[in-house]
Amino acid sequence: MTTIRVWQGDITQLEVDAIVNAANSSLLGGGGVDGAIHRAAGPELLACCRQLGGCPTGEARITPGFRLPARHVIHTVGPVWRGGDHGEADLLASCYRNSLRLAEENGLLGIAFPAISCGIYGYPHEAAARIAIAELHAARSAGSPLREMILVSFSADMAELYQRLLP
Ligand code: APR
């Protein structure tokens, strides 16, 4: 049975099979959680990402975690919030779905997600949280082999939001 839980803190410290990176389409690093993950993983991560040739919004790519406690990093590119009528909701849902699929295809048992698009990309937090929870529940209902799905919040209010919305 898959457990879905909320954890507040720095995702780079989690020792899980995979942490998800809220990247940009170049996959060449950035600020926010992308910057934190690259700093903690070390330069080999960037060298590895250079080989991937980027990633379209909504899709996901997997790399080793290098110096991170996490064995893998699943890089996904969330949508930039542009008001809500540019397919943002579907693209954000695809980020979660494609990241889960990659984890399952690689036989991983645990995955941790940051709040994709909820920082620099400006996605409204409650709408994003609802999408994240819906996708994790859908994967669990579909019999995902993943044992643990963690929603990581960097701030207390994001943690409270997740806890309020998780049934
Ligand atoms: N651990 C967990 N969560 C974090 C961490 C961290 N170390 N650092 C930031 N966050 C949280 C933010 O508080 C936010 O809730 O991750 C969420 C996503 O915010 P961003 O990192 O800004 O990502 P996003 O909004 O998807 O924007 C992506 O930012 O860093 C660049 O290269 C990245 O261009 C891309 C864009």
- CB-ligand 1 contact for 120 (6 Å cutoff): yes
Alpha-carbon distance of 80 to 13, in angstroms, equals: 26
The average pLDDT across 128-134 equals 98
Is the pLDDT score of 85 beyond 90?
yes
| 115-to-2, 35, 152 alpha-carbon distances in Å | 20, 15, 7
Closest residue CA from atom 3 of ligand 1: 154
Q: What angle do CA 18, 20, 21 make, to 5 degrees?
A: 135
The average pLDDT across 86-112 equals 98
CATH of the domain at 137: 3.40.220.10
Cβ atoms of residues 15 and 69 within 8 Å: yes
Alpha-carbon distance of 115 to 105, in angstroms, equals: 22
51 C-alpha vs ligand 1 centroid, how far in Å?
23
User: How many domains does the chain divide into?
Assistant: 1
pLDDT of residue 167: 79
Q: What is the pLDDT of residues 113-123, one digit of tens each?
A: 999 999 999 99
Is the pLDDT score of 75 beyond 90?
yes
The average pLDDT across 82-90 equals 98
User: Could you tell me the pLDDT band of residue 76, with boundaries at 50, 70 and 90?
Assistant: very high
pLDDT of residue 2: 96
- CB-ligand 1 contact for 121 (6 Å cutoff): yes
22 C-alpha vs ligand 1 centroid, how far in Å?
6
Q: What is the pLDDT of residues 139-164, one digit of tens each?
A: 999 999 999 999 999 999 999 999 99
105 C-alpha vs ligand 1 centroid, how far in Å?
25
pLDDT of residue 134: 98
Residue 31 CA, closest ligand 1 atom number: 30
Is 34 annotated as catalytic?
yes
- Domain extent, residue 62, equals 3-165
